[in-house]
Amino acid sequence: MKLNFFTDTKPVVITLLLCTIHCSSSKHLERESASRNMADDYSEAKVSPSASPAALPKSEVKLQENKSQRRMMVYTVVVNLQSKEIEPKVTEIIKLAESFGGYALQYSSQGTIQLKIPQENLKTFLQTLKKESHNYSEDVSAKDVTEDYLDTEIRLENAQKMRTRLLEILKSAKTLEETLKVEAELSKISESIERWEGKLKYLSSAIQLSTVTVHVRQKWEPVVQKDYKPGPLGYPFFYLYLGLGKVKDGLIWLFVQEIPKEN
């Protein structure tokens, strides 16, 4: 029996052709699906600048909050002024500072006063002092301690968390050696906490209360000579004094005229 190759193999060829078409279409669909997924991922990865803080990591949210905080400034002012009397002026300046919620750290009878003035009242205090003083001048300097303050807060928070962990470990310590090691670490971390707390307290006080140093100097006034007015019995002597002065001026003039002039 003689077989026809093209007739007998036709079903097999058709089957292979259909499989090839199906596979190629499946791969094409997979490529399109992957492309769409990549586009969706790319569009989701693009975060709008106005995205809500909830969509951002906690560290970035905290950083944005810290940047938006008010700057923490420490102000130092040096004032120079003059007064007829030093001690009364020193007392007057101290009372003025107290009326603005401040106080005097130290002062001397020579006219140097160191004051602490609340930062919110500093500008008004200086304006009032200027109006009530002579030859007033001031030098204001400011120091930004925002980063130092925030850094100290973070260090204190981390130290407190570490102390909490060590206390939990101390409860579960089974041997004396473990207990002593944990207690030694607790002592160190407690010292760090006290140090950071002290620094925060110092920075807070420096921010809230500005330092003002006032130097009061004696005001110099020229001496005005008063005209002499003789009494009733003193007029003869007064006019005699004036007459002798005129005679003296006349003699000097005659002496000058008699000096021979060189030709």
Q: pLDDT tens across 157-177, in order? A: 999 999 999 999 988 888 998
Overall pTM surpassing 0.75 (yes/no): no
pLDDT: is 247 or 24 the higher one? 247
pLDDT (0 to 100) of residue 6: 41
Mean pLDDT value across residues 26-52: 43
Q: Which residues pair with 251 in a beta bridge?
A: none
pLDDT (0 to 100) of residue 246: 73
Q: Among 65-69, 217-221, 252-256, which is the least confidently predicted range?
A: 65-69
Tokens of 177: 């050696």
pLDDT (0 to 100) of residue 227: 64
Q: How confident is the model at residue 259 (pLDDT cuts 50, 70, 90)?
A: low
Q: Among the residues of the chain, which ranges form H helices? A: 5-8, 10-45, 58-68, 86-99, 122-131, 146-171, 176-208, 235-258
236: how many CB neighbours lie within 10 A of its CB?
10
Q: How far apart are CA 154 and CA 196, in angstroms?
A: 10
| Residue whose structure tokens are 């002039």 | 261
| Residue whose structure tokens are 């020229």 | 222
One-letter identity of residue 73: M
pLDDT: is 229 or 174 the higher one? 174
Mean pLDDT value across residues 68-89: 89
Tokens of 230: 């003789």
Q: How confident is the model at residue 243 (pLDDT cuts 50, 70, 90)?
A: confident
Residue 155 has pLDDT above 70, yes or no: yes
